[in-house]
Structure 1
C-alpha cells in the first residue's frame, strides 16, 4: 500500500518535470525521468546532463535531379552592321562637246542603289568619286555606244588604271560601211588612300560626221565599293 502511494507521488512529480522540460527543451536544464522495472519494486531515477558538443558534418549526399527548364528570356535588340562605302551611278546623258577634261559625266545616283550619304563621296556633276577611307576598292564601268568607236579608262587621280575599248562600226578602206551599237564592261581592284580621285575618262572617241553617242541611263554605269579598309 505504501509502495503504491510512493509510486503515484513520483509519477505526478515526474510528469510535472517532463512537461516543464518539454516546453523548454532548448534550455540547458536537467530533467528527471522515472523508469519502472517489470515489477513495482524495480524503480530507478535517471538524470540527464547537459548536451554534448556538436558532431562533425555527415557525408555529402548525391546531387538531386535537374530542375525544370526556366522561362525563355526576352528577345534581344537588333544587331548593327556598318554598311561599307559604295556608290552606283547611271550616266544621265552624254555630250562630248561639253566635256573639256574628258571625264565622263554627268551621272545620276539612284536612291534605290545608294545610301543617303553617298553624295558626300561621289559627285554627280563632276563624275569623281573621292576616297573617304584607306583600303582596297573594286570599281566597275559598263559603257554602251552607238555608231562609233571609243576607249574609256578608270583612273586614279591622273593615272590610268585600266582601259575598256568598244566599237559599233564596220570600216572598209578607211570608210564606215555599217554601224550599230555595242557595250563593254571592265572592273579593277585598287588600293586607295583618303582623297584619291576615281573617275571614268574618255581616252579616245571617233566621230566621223554622223550621230555618234554613248548610250545613257542604265546602259552605261559606274560603280564601286570598299572591300576592306586598312
Structure 2
C-alpha cells in the first residue's frame, strides 16, 4: 500500500469507528503529517482525494471536517474488490448530480426512449482510488422514483428501483475495456482530457428481459493488485 493510500485508509477507519464523527474537525495538515510520518504534500493529496469522494469537507480559514452526511460503506454489489491481503475494500458513494437529457448514445440505443436521466456519482474504493459512474434511466422511470435526496443517491440505485418501481434487476451484462476517458469522466477523476483509463459498461435487465438501466464506470490508472468479488460471494 502506498503512503497516500495508507493515510486515506487510516482517516476512513477513524470515521467508521466513530472516533471521528460528523462535523468533527480533523487535525491540521502538519499534525497529520507528523502523526503518519509522511510529508505535508502527501497529506494534502490524501485530503483532496477524500474531499472529492465526499467523505470530508474543507472550509477556507476554518479547517477540514468530517462530511455532514453519514459516512458509511455503500452496497455496491457489482463493483466490489479485495486487496492483495484478502481484505474487502468498502465503497463510499457520493452523488454528484442528476440531469435530464435528450442526448443520444449507447444508453439510448439500449433503453429505447426519447428522454433520459443521468445520475452522476463518485465511488471511493476504500479511500484508495475513485470510480466515476454515470447511471442512465428512461425519464418516465426516474419520475416514478419520486424525490431523490442526497442520501438516496448514495445508496444502491438498483435496490431503489426495485423497491419503488417493483422492477428488480434480474440480469446484468458487463463489458470492460481500456481507452480514452470521456471529458466529464476525466475531469471528475482529476485527469487530463482524453487520458487513458479503465471503462466498464453495465446493462441491467428486468422482468421479461426488458432493458432497465445503462451504467458506465470509469477509473484512471491505479497500481494496486485487486481481486474482484463475485456477486454471489459470501
TM-score tier after normalising by the smaller chain length: under 0.3
- The structure where helix makes up a greater share of residues is 2
Greater strand share, structure number: 1
Task: Give the number of the structure whose alpha-carbon radius of gyration is greater.
Answer: 1
Give the TM-score taking structure 1 as reference length. Answer: 0.21
Which gives a bigger RCO, structure 1 or 2 (Cα 8 Å, sep 6+)?
1
Structure 2 length as normaliser, TM-score?
A: 0.20
